[in-house]
Amino acid sequence: MYAVELKESYFPAQADGVLEELTIGDMLRRSVGAYGDAPALREVLANGDYGRAWTYAELLADCERLARALASRHDKGARIAVWANNVPEWILLELASAMAGLTLVTVNPSYQARELKYVLEQSRAEALYLVENVRGNPLAEIARQVCAGLPGVRRLILLTDHGALFAGAEQGVLPDVAPRDPAQIQYTSGTTGFPKGALLHHAGLVQNARDTIRRGGVGPGDAFVHYMPLFHTTGCAILALGGLGVGASMFLLPNFDAALAAAAIERERMKFVLGVPTMLFALMEEVERAGRDVSSVMRVMSGGSMVAPELVRKSERVLGSPIQIIYGQTEASPVITQTWADDAMEDLTTTIGQPLPHVEVSIRDPQTNEVLPVGAQGEICARGYLVMLGYNDNPEATAKAIDAEGWLHTGDLGRMDARGYVSITGRVKEMIIRGGENLFPAEIENAMLEHPDVAEVAVVGVPDEKWGEQVACFMRAKGEARPDPAALKKFIRERLSPQKTPVYWIWVEAWPLTGSGKIQKFRLAEAFIRGDYDVLTA
C-alpha cells in the first residue's frame, strides 16, 4: 500500500512504475521483443478442448496482416464495429484496428435490433464485423435487417470468413498512430434512455490495463483464463491488453462457463482469476461440486458491483485467496482504485482500495465541487492519463462529466480515509449494477412505455444476494388490463437484451412523489424491501 497521511480527501498521483505514452501497437511490438516465442493466446472450445494457439510473434504477424487488410478498405480515423462473443478474431480485430488507426466500436452480442441500430448510427460506424449467432441470438440476421436501412454501414464481414477478413492485406499501408488517438468507443451510462459512447485513447487503455494487471500479481509466463465479455473494458482492456502487456498467456473461453473455467484453472495450474461476483460465486460452487484442485490460485480480482464481504471470505476458503477489489468506470479506461493483495481483511471487505499509480482521486462536494475533508461523503472524482477523450458527438454530456480542471466526475458517492482508501456509499446516478453490468432505468422505461396497457413506468434496482441488484419494474395501468409477467417479459425481450429484462413486475395505483411531482424511486425500493407490494414474477 502507499504510505500517506491525508489532511483532505485528495490523493495525489503516485509515481511508482513507469508512466508511458504508448499505442496498442507499440505495446504488442514491445511484448514480442521480450516474449517472442512464449504462448500469448489459446482458444478454449465450448467442449473444453483446445483450439488455435498463437505465440507473441505469431500474434503480431497475424495482427499486422489484418491491420493492412483493414487499412486497404478503411481510412485512418474510421469507425468499425465488432459484434461477437469471445472468439480469437475479436482480439485480432482489436489489435489490428488500433494498428490501422481505426476506432473500434464494441457491441454487446446480446443486443437486439433497436440497440444495434442506435450504436451503429451514433458511432458513425462504416462497417460491422460479426459472427453468425451467439447463444441463440441471430446476430447476422439482425445485422442484415438493421444495416439495410443504414447507408453509412457499407460492409458486413463475418469474422469466420478469413478470405473476406484478410482481403487486401497485400495492398494496405499502415498509418502513423499517436498514443492519444482514439482507439475504442464503448457505450455506457444512458441517463436519457440511450447510452453514451465513451471515446477511449490508446495511452489510457494500455497504461491502465498494465497497472491493474500488475497490481493483480500477473507477470511474464503466467497463464490465466479469460471469460469476461470482450465488448467491455474488463475483457478487452484489463485482461486482453493487460495480459499481453506483461507477457502472460491467455486462455480464451467463448463465454463464461464455470465448469470450463474450473477445468482450465486446474489443468494449467493458473494463479490468477478475475470475474464479477456472480461469476466467482458460480466458479466456487463448481470447484466445490467437482472437487477441482485450484491450489495454484494466488490472486483473485473482482469488481463491477459491490462485492459482499461473505464472498471475499469464501474466495479465501475455496480458491485460496481473498478478492482484490477493483473500482472504476468505462470513462476511466476503466480502473480508478484497487485494493492490494496484502491488505487487511477489513480493507478488502469494506473499501475499494487506493488509486492506481499516476492517478489522482478526490472526494468533492456535488454542489460546490470543493474537495471535502477526510471522511466526508461526496462524489468520487478522478484525474490523469486514464480519463476518456469525451463522449462521442456529445459535448454537453462531456462537459458535465469532465470539469474545467480535468476531473472526471464518476457519479458515485464515497468517502476517503487518511490513508487514501476509498469506500463507496451510494450512487448519484440511478444506474442499476446487475452482476457487474450497468443497466439504465430510462432505457428500460422507454421501452416499456411502448406497451399499450402501460401509462407510467418506474424501474429501480432492488438488492439481490447473488446478482448484487435485480431489476424491478413498477407500472401504472392505462385502463383495466394488467398483462401477466409472461406477457410483459415477452414484450420487453422483443425490444431489449435479456439482462435488461425486469425480474419483478409490480402494478401500482399511485406513486410516491416529490413536491415537484417526480417519482421517488428510493421510496419504491424501500417499500419493495419491506414487502409492501404484490410482486409478480414470470
pLDDT in tens, 411-432: 888 899 999 999 987 666 677 8
d(CA 279, CA 500) in angstroms, rounded, equals 18
pLDDT at 409 over 50: yes
Q: Residue 381's pLDDT is what?
A: 98
pLDDT at 190 over 60: no
Q: Whose CA is closest to 397, among 119, 194, 231?
A: 194
What is the rounded average pLDDT of the residues 25-32? 98
Q: Residue 224's pLDDT is what?
A: 97
pLDDT at 515 over 80: no
pLDDT at 306 over 60: no
What is the rounded average pLDDT of the residues 170-197? 86
What is the percentage of the chain residues whose pLDDT exceeds 70? Answer: 97
Band of the pLDDT at 401, cuts 50, 70, 90?
A: very high
Q: Residue 427's pLDDT is what?
A: 63
CATH code of domain 432-530: 3.30.300.30
What is the rounded average pLDDT of the residues 90-106? 98
Alpha helices in 367-430 (DSSP H): 395-401
The sheet with strand 127-130 has its strands ordered as: 155-158, 127-130, 79-83, 103-107, 182-188, 196-201, 390-391
Q: Residue 311's pLDDT is what?
A: 87
d(CA 195, CA 198) in angstroms, rounded, equals 9
d(CA 508, CA 477) in angstroms, rounded, equals 8
Residue at 160: amino acid letter: T
> Which of helix, strand or coil describes residue 246?
coil
d(CA 495, CA 492) in angstroms, rounded, equals 5
Band of the pLDDT at 349, cuts 50, 70, 90?
A: confident
Domain boundaries, the chain: 21-38+53-206+229-248, 432-530
Q: Residue 513's pLDDT is what?
A: 81
Q: Residue 292's pLDDT is what?
A: 98
- The 3 state secondary structure assigned to 304-349 is CCCCCHHHHHHHHHHCCCCEEEEEECHHHCCEEEECCCCCCHHHHH
> Which of helix, strand or coil describes residue 48?
coil
pTM for the structure as a whole: 0.85
Q: Which fold has domain 21-38+53-206+229-248?
A: Rossmann fold (3.40.50)
What is the rounded average pLDDT of the residues 457-473? 92
CA distances for 151 relative to 34, 81, 140, 155, angstroms: 45, 15, 17, 10
Q: Name the residue with higher pLDDT: 86 or 518.
A: 86
Write out pLDDT tens, residues 253-303. 999 999 999 999 999 999 999 998 889 999 999 999 999 999 999 999 998
What is the rounded average pLDDT of the residues 332-356? 95
Mean pLDDT computed over every residue of the chain = 94
Q: Residue 425's pLDDT is what?
A: 76
